[in-house]
A and B are shown apart, each in its own frame.
Chain A
Amino acid sequence: MSALLRARRGAVVVFGLAALTPLVVRDAYFLDSLVLILLWGALSAAWNVAGGYAGQVSIGHASFFGIGAYSAALMVTRFGRGPWLGLLVGVVLSIGAGLIIGVLSNRLKGPYFALSTIAFSQVLLIGVSRWRGFTAGAEGIPVPFRPGFATLGLGHTGWVYMALSVALVCYAVEVYLERSRVGYQLAGVREDEDAAEALGIHTRKLKVGAVALSAALTSICGSLWAQYVGFVDPTYVFSVDLSVRFALNAIIGGMGTALGPFLGSILITSLETYLRATFSNWDARFAGIYLVIYGTALILVVRFVPEGLAGIAARIRMRKAHA
C-alpha cells in the first residue's frame, strides 16, 4: 500500500490538497473553482478511458454528458423524483448509447470514428431541442435547489467532497486500466489492433466495453453538473465545444496517463476562471478570449508536447534518475 502511495505521490498531493482545502478556505468563489476543477478533471479522466487507454478518440462525449444532465434534471422536474434516481437512469442510458456507438463504429478508425461520434451528439442535440413537450426544447430546464443530500442540494463544502469522490472514482478506474490484465490488453488494441487480435485478444469487445465504461462515468459527472449548476440546455450540454473540452484537458495533461486529465483541468479551469473574471468586466464577448488561448494551447501542445504535462514530469524524473 505504501509503495502504491509513493508511486502515486502526485495524485496523493493533488487529491489530498483538494480534500483539505474546504477545511481552511471558506471563500465561495475559490471553492466553486475547486468543484469545477474536480468535475472537469473527472470528465476528462472519463474521456481518457476511451480516448487515452483504448485509443477510441471521441469528439462526441458531450452525448453522454447531456444524457446524464437531462436524466437528472428531468427526473426532478418532470417526475418529481430525486436526482440520484436520474443519475442511475442516465448511467443506464449512457451505457446503452455507448454500446450503440461502440458497436456501430467498431470498424472505424481515427478521423472516421471522431466524425461518427460528432454525428451522434448532433442527433441528440437536434432531438432534445425539438422534443419540446418533454425536454422543454432549446429553452432548457432550470433545476430547483432543495437542500439535503437526497436532493443533491449541497453547500460549497459538500460539493467539493462530492466532486472529489467522483474524481477519485474516475482516477481509480484509470489506475485499474494501467495495472490490470484488461488494461494491458487495451493498450495492445490501441497500439496495434491486428497484432492484439492475433494474440487472441477480443479487440471488438474490449473497445466497445471501454467506450461504454467511459460513457457511464461521463454521464455520472453530467448528472452532478446539472444539479450543481442548476440549469440544463441542449445547445450547451450536447455541444461539440464541450466534447473538445473533455479531450483538451486530457491531452494537455497527458493522454493515457491517470493523473494527466486532472493536471490539465487544474491548468485550464483556473486559467478560464481567471480570464473570465478579468475580461468579463469589459465586455461579455471578451470571455471568448480564453477560448482563443485554449485553442492555441491545444495546437501547440499536440505539436510540441504530445505527451502532455504528465509526460514532461516523467521526462524530468527520468533525467534526474540518470544524472
Chain B
Amino acid sequence: MDPARRLGPAQIDVLAQLAVATVLLGGIYALISVGLTLIFGIMRVVNFAHGEFLMLGMYLAFWAFVVFTADPYFVVFVAIPLFFVVGLVVYGLVMRGVIHASHNVQIFTTVGLSTVLQNVALVAWSGDFRFVRPWHLSTVLRAGSTIFNLTQVVASLIAVALTLALVAFMKWTHAGRVMRATAQDREAATLMGIDTDRVYRLTFAIGIAAVGAAGVLVAPLYSVYPTAGLQFVLLSYVVVVLGGLGDMLGAMIGSLIVAAVEVAGSYFFGVAWKEIFYFILFILVLVFRPAGLFGQRGAETLGV
C-alpha cells in the first residue's frame, strides 16, 4: 500500500503526483516524529520504544474496527486521551526512575520497554498480519492529473492538523512555554520554580498521545503486526536527527525530506529499495550534520 506504488498510467504528470505523494506521506511522518522530538528535546531521552506505541495505536484501530466497526478517523479522537493516560502511566512506572540516569541506562530502559510491548502484543494478538479496510480506502480522489485515495488524504490532513495544534500549544500556552523553558535549561527552569518532574510527565504523555494517534491514522494504510512500529520508528529517528533535536518545525521539514527521499527512491529504483535510501541519508546526516540540518553545531557531543 505504498502511496508511490499507485503511480498510474504513464500519461499522468509524474512530478505532480510525486510531489503530492511526498506531502501526504510527510504529513503522517510529521505526527509520528513530533512526539519523539518533543521527548528527545525536553527530557533528553531517546525513546527507543516509540514505535511500539505506534503499533499499539494500530492495534487499537484494528480492534475498534473489528469489534465496533468504528472508522479509524473517529477512533483517533478516542486514542488521543487514551494514549495520554498510557503515557502518564508508563512515565510513572518506567521513565521517572531513569530520567537523571546515564545514557546507557536510558537507552536500555526504553529498549527493554520496546521488547516487552512487542511481545505482549505477540502473545495477546499473535504474529498474524491484520488489515483495517474501511470503505474510504477504495474511494479515489482526482485533482488535475494526480490521483489519491480518500483514506490517505484524510489521514494526512488529520495528522497535519494535530501536528500544528501541538506546535501552537508549545508556542502559545503557558504549559508549552514552561516545557520549552525546561528544554533550554533544566537548572534555570528549576530555579524559576518550575516542577521539572511534572514537565517531563506532561511531555512524555503528549509525545505518546501524538504517536498513538498516528498509529490509528496509519492503520488502514499499512498492515498491523507486533513489530510494525520498527520501520516507522527508524524513519522518525531520521526525521528527528535531520530536524535537530527537540525542534518541532525542523521535524516537520525533516518529515518532508524523508518522504521525498522515500517517494523518489521507490519511483526510480523500485519499492523494495526505498528504505535503504533514508538509512543512507541518516548515516550521512549523523556523520556530517549530527546536530541536524538547522541545529547548532556540536549538540551531538554535548551528550544530548
Which A residues have a C-beta under 8 Å from some C-beta of B?
Answer: 57, 59, 104-105, 107-112, 114-116, 118-120, 122-123, 126-127, 130, 240-241, 244, 247-248, 251, 255, 285-286, 288-289, 291-292, 294-299, 302-303, 306
Contacts and interface: CB of A to CB of B under 8 A. Distances in A.
Interface stretch (B149-157, B179-187, B197-205, B272-280): B272-280
B87 to A, nearest CB: 17
Contacts of B234: 118-119, 122
Given A110-B303, A111-B107, A126-B279, A298 B286 contact: no
B122 interface: yes
B304 A302 contact: no
Given A299-B116, A302-B109, A111 B122 contact: no
15 contacts: A105-B286, A105-B287, A109-B300, A119-B282, A130-B273, A247-B111, A255-B104, A285-B122, A291-B119, A292-B115, A292-B120, A298-B111, A299-B108, A302-B112, A306-B105
A295 B114 contact: yes
Contacts of B94: 299
A289 B109 contact: no
Contacts of A104: 283, 286-287
B123 interface: yes
A288 B227 CA distance: 12
Nearest to B272: A130
Contacts of A115: 46, 237, 241, 282, 286
A288 B119 contact: yes
Contacts of B266: none
Contact of B112 (A110, A255, A298): A298
Interface of B: 46, 48, 94, 97-98, 101, 103-109, 111-116, 118-120, 122-123, 126-127, 230, 234, 237-238, 241, 272-273, 275-276, 279-280, 282-283, 286-287, 290, 300-301, 303-304
A111 B304 contact: yes
Contacts of A295: 112-116, 119
Contacts, number: 137
A285 B126 contact: yes
A98 to B, nearest CB: 15
A214 to B, nearest CB: 16
List the 8 closest pairs (A to B, CB-CB), nearest first: A295-B115, A298-B112, A110-B103, A295-B116, A111-B46, A291-B119, A299-B112, A288-B122
A303 B241 CA distance: 27
Contact of B304 (A105, A110, A116, A248): A110
A310 to B, nearest CB: 16
Contact of A303 (B98, B116, B276, B287): B98
A119 B116 contact: no
B300 A247 contact: no
A260 to B, nearest CB: 14
A244 B107 contact: no
Given A105-B287, A122-B234, A296 B116 contact: yes
A193 B109 CA distance: 24
Given A294-B115, A303-B97, A109 B303 contact: yes
Given A291-B115, A291-B116, A295-B116, 20 more contacts: A57-B103, A104-B283, A105-B287, A109-B103, A111-B103, A112-B286, A112-B304, A119-B234, A119-B282, A123-B279, A126-B276, A241-B115, A288-B119, A288-B122, A291-B118, A294-B115, A296-B112, A299-B94, A302-B101, A303-B97
B275 A122 contact: yes
A275 B234 CA distance: 30
A52 B286 CA distance: 23
A191 B156 CA distance: 46
B116 A292 contact: yes
Contacts of B301: 107, 109
A243 B117 CA distance: 17
A123 B115 contact: no
Contacts of B103: 57, 109-111
A188 B103 CA distance: 18
A55 B301 CA distance: 14
Contacts of A306: 101, 105
Given A57-B107, A292-B123, A127 B276 contact: yes
Contacts of A292: 115-116, 119-120, 123
Contacts of B238: 119
B97 to A, nearest CB: 5
A275 to B, nearest CB: 12
Contacts of A126: 273, 275-276, 279
B109 to A, nearest CB: 5
Nearest to A121: B279
A109 B272 CA distance: 32
B98 A298 contact: no
A289 B275 contact: no
A120 B283 contact: yes
A104 B288 CA distance: 9
Nearest to B126: A285
A255 B107 CA distance: 14
A123 B283 contact: yes
